[in-house]
Amino acid sequence: MSIDQVFSHIKWIQWIKSELNIEIKFPIVAANDSVALKLGMLHPGKGTNTVRAVFIVDPKGKVRLIMYYPQEVGRNMDEVVRSVRALKISDKQGAVPAGWPNNELIDDRIIVPPATDEETAQKRSGEYECYDWWFCHKPLEE
């Protein structure tokens, strides 16, 4: 989505196909200024200078993650892909740590959700690798 007009989107899609041989298979939406303001896509006090924003939306239509980049900083597509993958994994297996899959403490492992009672907390160290009962981790189940 951007505040660019539809013809700009068409040209952008054509350019990506002809120059990069990549076909965009998702909808490109032309937002008006009102929608863009509500989503935080315009720099306050800079007219129509747009913020580069990434909105990751799940299949149910829920916004799961938003990343904002000022015009002066390019987006990191590796981080966007990592974030989508991490959200999918965390929905099924537990939390994904910072820097995953290269976290400095647990590498590519997944953080086990915290115990909700004392009995479960005491069993933790026998079931998982743990730094303590509140920080246990397990291998990623692929």
pLDDT of 84-97, one tens digit each? 999 999 999 989 99
Cβ atoms of 133 and 121 closer than 8 Å: yes
What is the Cα–Cα distance from 17 to 21, expressed in whole angstroms? 5
pTM exceeds cut of 0.85: no
Cβ atoms of 56 and 63 closer than 8 Å: yes
The whole-number pLDDT of residue 112 equals 94
What is the Cα–Cα distance from 138 to 142, expressed in whole angstroms? 12
- In the block, residue with structure tokens 């951007």: 2
Encode the chain (142 residues) as per-residue pLDDT tens digits: 778 888 888 999 999 999 999 999 988 888 887 888 788 777 776 666 677 888 899 999 999 999 988 878 888 889 999 999 999 999 999 899 999 999 999 999 999 998 899 999 989 889 999 998 889 999 999 7
Going by CATH, does the domain composed of 76-142 fall within 3.30.360.10? no
At 81 the three-state DSSP class reads helix
Residue ranges per domain, the chain?
A: 76-142
The whole-number pLDDT of residue 52 equals 80
What is the Cα–Cα distance from 126 to 142, expressed in whole angstroms? 23
Q: How far apart are the first and last CA of the chain?
A: 32
The whole-number pLDDT of residue 101 equals 94
Cβ density class 22-60: b for 16+ within 10 Å, e for less? eeeeeeeeebeeeebeebebbeeeeeeebbebbeeeeee
CB atoms near residue 97 (< 10 Å): 20
Could you tell me where the beta strands, DSSP code E, fall in the chain?
Answer: 52-57, 63-69, 110-111, 129-132, 135-138
The whole-number pLDDT of residue 42 equals 77
The token pair at 48 is: 């129509």
